[in-house]
Amino acid sequence: MKTFLTLFASAALTLSASAHADTPPTSLTEGFDNISSLSGWVINNANGGQSWFQGNDGIFAAQAGADNSYAAANFESGTGAGGAIDNWLITPELTLSGTTRITFYTRTADAGFDDNLGVLFGAGNGTDITGFKTSLLSIDAAGYPGEWTRYTAEFTGTGTGRFAFHYTGNYAASDYIGLDSVSISAVPEPSTWAMLGLGLAGVGFMARRSRRAAAGAGLALAALGMSSGAMAADDKGMVVVRDAETGQLRAPTAAEYKQLAPQTLKSAALQAGNTKESKVVTRANGTRVASVANKVLYSVVTKNADGSLTEACAENEDAALAATKTPRAAQAKERNYEAQ
């Protein structure tokens, strides 16, 4: 049996649970495991021939799932030599709000026959084929693929409606087609993506804020060649991408993440654009100094009476020396140490 995974992301928004039970759904996935048990679908051969039926794996296997788990239609949809084909497969009623995207896979058994497939939309709950007046996509005989091929169409509107797959041609010139892995879902508006992004940012805000101070201290210590233990300079936050094909949010691949988010830097020197690691100098009084991107940083770590450590940053040498309580007169000795 085919398994379809649909991701619904809700950020800083609460969906009302008071909707009526009979409200049509907003999305649909169908793998055609069993044509005879389709719920809400309508099959209608307007010319009285063979309707859509369970796929024949002896002709070709399904795009996904069990070999025969697809919908099929063939030349017998028409009646008699030259009889026109007018065979419909209509989805359940759906609730639409804005832009709705429909994707599916289809193929023919042998290219060159007169197999044609149209995708149409009809407003409301009607199943009369005359109500499907909006054509969204058409695959004609000249371009019908001989291998499973993915197609996408979109409809913009609000209210309820149904989508229809319309197989056409004629008895003498048509052959056999398959339809599989149908998926219908709303395409979020830009404002919805913005709200979603804000919501996702809110989810991780507190964790990021608590890490930021530690990350900053970690970078300072890393520049001085010191390990900060738990204060890892890693503030990646939350990264998601919108799938170009499905429109759904998902975790990025390794390659996508590499493009979207900066890698954790080994040192503040690399973060500043310097390709060389900082040179750390330890002075006679125990202070360490490192030059990062042509700027000298001073960090003073003091051991307290209880054995704990306190770190302080200094903007210049005078402040650093004052923090270590080193007399100004001792600078000459320290400079001589650096020169050695």
Tell me the domain boundaries of the chain: 27-186, 289-324
Residue 219: its pLDDT value, please? 43
The correct answer on CATH 2.60.120.200 for the domain covering 27-186 is: yes
- Structure pTM? 0.55
Residue 181: its pLDDT value, please? 97
- The one-digit pLDDT tens for each residue of the chain (340 residues) are 554 443 333 333 333 333 445 789 999 999 999 999 999 999 999 998 999 999 999 999 999 999 999 999 999 999 877 789 999 999 999 999 999 999 999 999 987 898 999 999 999 999 999 999 999 999 998 889 999 999 999 999 999 999 999 999 999 999 999 999 999 999 876 654 455 555 555 545 444 444 444 444 444 334 334 433 333 334 445 566 677 776 667 677 766 666 665 543 344 444 444 444 455 666 666 666 665 545 556 666 776 777 666 777 776 777 777 766 644 444 444 444 344 4
Residue 228: its pLDDT value, please? 38
State both tokens at 215.
């990350």
Residue ranges of E strands in the chain: 28-30, 42-45, 53-54, 71-74, 84-90, 94-108, 116-123, 134-139, 149-170, 176-187, 241-242, 249-250, 280-282, 288-292, 295-303, 309-314
Contact predicate 99/186, CB 8 Å: yes
